[in-house]
Structure 1
């Protein structure tokens, strides 16, 4: 079965992909989260590098890779984008901290970025927008039409927990150890339009739901949907938004590879007319919570089987479903090597907590994140 050759309306599903990452800015001496007004202004003006963009707070920057067709390109683009963002941060004498939450600072020290888009977000969501002190990783996979995007989206729901568990990087928030591997997931879920949507059926189903959300005032348009997976409002892609930002480039590349392979596999299943898995929303929420709670350090919850499974079993089950596709794409060896590396050393969240428990020094945690994230830019 070849999935990399699936075509819909003349375009190939999953041929292209791109990645967006968000970072906190920190002072190199104190590791405090610090506004970068020059970097933020340059990003707003488009003068911080072609891959660097502003975020809702001046203590953050976002990067976006160019359009890629191979994992090698993804890695090269991520390295270049992180380098551009680091140079932008240097305008304010700051460093990038690639983790979804800061080890101790919070939204109280985050000025909102001046700009119409961000002011509108605060006007619409009030305190939820002002308290958006989290960073994420988004993967776009090329998909040619909205019906195909929705067919894939409806089938992604059982896979969200394990993909999340592999990317956790937010164990701390507002100065405390939350006990979670991905506190970002819990914080993000406060938005009324976050999480995994119920099956939409087709493009018309998506449009009806979006129209209702617009009418409610929750969103202005599709670009503000905060679903874990959504059709992009501006690109011919399906966008996976569920992941914490990965501290290392290796983990980002792995996440992008798994997401793209999953899209290819699910598009084939949709084309064959295979049914959307029946999945109770309560069980999916439980599985998502379990992944955020434990990451790869404890059991995950399989929402289809309604039972706990070990993290290695859950990751192995995902790889088993993607194996044929990854082999045909020439990506199997790289993906499995990266998976074994991740399982061996643990997620960023687990390693941050280990650093904290070993040193009792939150600054050491921040320094570890900055150092690990910078290693991939050399």
Structure 2
């Protein structure tokens, strides 16, 4: 009797350690009332004439577009590539009389008006998840970190997991949903949590054990590939990376590059200094820490997985900056940490900026208009 087996996982590709790749999902809005508009196909057509270091691809609904860097060595390369692609996208958007902006959610769009982009994969997702697929018109930044091998990738994944609340709080830019201030700094992640295969990866630190887990999951028919996992951090074997997925899309490319530089510094610190050994018990406060960061941003409570000590998240972020200083020097990421430090000491994250604009203007379309100006680089 032959036992059928599920799809096999790709071989973990060769990858240079600590290389970076960044993906940014962007909002496409009209210039009439700054609502989302389905212009991704036209944008992709115009972008076809540009030769870019990365690429631009569709996302699940037609009011979104994703830009990706190539493989980068450091923060400055990420910033350079993001700038080149951003400028091309802004030029093409101007030809279509539409705007582009960052932010983890659109402030007042109606999810029911969204259109699924016409690809087999997106239609399959829409068929499986129903209305959730249109509610997935949310916008995130994904950061890939190159790993020398699969076992090292899993160790790094679990090490970085304790810094998920730090990354959420720093990147948070989604306080508004369907015209309402949610009270959250990152409401976007509430939409991600609705998917059944979201949250944290299982605690295994050997690739052979991960393959056993993956085979069990595929045997059930629940998953077909790694794309079916919406984990906060997941392995990306075809790239030889791990992919950090919790960040809201920032309002500027400078912020996006700085966050990528911070993650690279954390990865180098974890790999070289090995400040702690990952354990399953590290995940005991994981969901609490994640919620605190989403709800309260930089002022959320962080529970140290090792000691149980409660600290204010912004204080723990500042402590991490101090621990990373030598690694930032080695990676050429001093400007990245400096950028984030200034935000930490100043007005705070992008969610605070968005609330400040709304408090002043009292009009959400004006908030989105100013988001577009920030993304294009023509507003402080």
1:244 to 239, 245, 248: 248
> How many angstroms does 1:85 deviate by?
2.5
CA distance in structure 1 between the aligned counterparts of 2:378 and 2:312, rounded to whole angstroms:
30
CA distance in structure 1 between the aligned counterparts of 2:122 and 2:318, rounded to whole angstroms:
41
> How many angstroms does 1:126 deviate by?
2.5
> How many angstroms does 1:11 deviate by?
6.4
Aligned to 2:150: 146
CA distance in structure 1 between the aligned counterparts of 2:122 and 2:32, rounded to whole angstroms:
29
Aligned partners of 2:188 and 2:248 also within 8 Å: yes
CA distance in structure 2 between the aligned counterparts of 1:113 and 1:28, rounded to whole angstroms:
22
Please state whether the residue corresponding to 1:69 is helix, strand or coil.
coil
Given the superposition, is the C-alpha separation of residues 287 and 77 from structure 1 closer, same or farther in structure 2, using an over 3 Å criterion? Answer: same
Aligned to 2:331: 329
1:102 to 78, 103, 106: 106
Given the superposition, is the C-alpha separation of residues 110 and 79 from structure 1 closer, same or farther in structure 2, using an over 3 Å criterion? Answer: same
CA distance in structure 1 between the aligned counterparts of 2:126 and 2:77, rounded to whole angstroms:
36
CA distance in structure 2 between the aligned counterparts of 1:307 and 1:372, rounded to whole angstroms:
38
Which has the larger displacement, 47-56 or 104-113?
Answer: 47-56
Aligned to 1:131: 135
Aligned partners of 1:34 and 1:59 also within 8 Å: yes
> How many angstroms does 1:280 deviate by?
5.2
CA distance in structure 2 between the aligned counterparts of 1:215 and 1:119, rounded to whole angstroms:
23
2:20 to 17, 20, 29: 17
> How many angstroms does 1:263 deviate by?
1.5
Task: Please show how residues 168-183 of structure 1 align to structure 2 within 5 Å.
Answer: 168-183=172-187
Gaps of 5+ in 1: 1-8
Aligned to 1:32: 35
Given the superposition, is the C-alpha separation of residues 48 and 123 from structure 1 closer, same or farther in structure 2, using an over 3 Å criterion? Answer: farther
Aligned to 2:376: 374
Task: Please show how residues 1-378 of structure 1 align to structure 2 within 5 Å.
Answer: 12-14=16-18, 16-36=19-39, 38-39=41-42, 42=45, 50=52, 51-90=55-94, 92-268=96-272, 275-279=277-281, 281-296=283-298, 298-304=299-305, 305-332=307-334, 334-343=335-344, 344-375=346-377
Aligned partners of 2:147 and 2:153 also within 8 Å: yes
Aligned to 2:8: none
TM-score by length of 2: 0.88
Please state whether the residue corresponding to 1:243 is helix, strand or coil.
strand
Please state whether the residue corresponding to 1:309 is helix, strand or coil.
strand
For residues 160-187 of structure 1, the C-alpha deviation after alignment (integer angstroms, 9 at most, x for no partner) is 1111110001001112111000001111
Given the superposition, is the C-alpha separation of residues 10 and 125 from structure 1 closer, same or farther in structure 2, using an over 3 Å criterion? Answer: closer
For residues 193-215 of structure 1, the C-alpha deviation after alignment (integer angstroms, 9 at most, x for no partner) is 11222321211222223233333
> How many angstroms does 1:373 deviate by?
1.1
TM-score by length of 1: 0.89
Aligned partners of 1:284 and 1:303 also within 8 Å: no
Please state whether the residue corresponding to 1:279 is helix, strand or coil.
helix
Given the superposition, is the C-alpha separation of residues 30 and 152 from structure 1 closer, same or farther in structure 2, using an over 3 Å criterion? Answer: same
> How many angstroms does 1:29 deviate by?
2.3
Please state whether the residue corresponding to 1:68 is helix, strand or coil.
coil
Which has the larger displacement, 277-286 or 246-255?
Answer: 277-286
For residues 119-162 of structure 1, the C-alpha deviation after alignment (integer angstroms, 9 at most, x for no partner) is 12112323322321101001111112211111111222211111
Aligned to 1:4: none
Aligned to 2:10: none
Aligned to 1:5: none
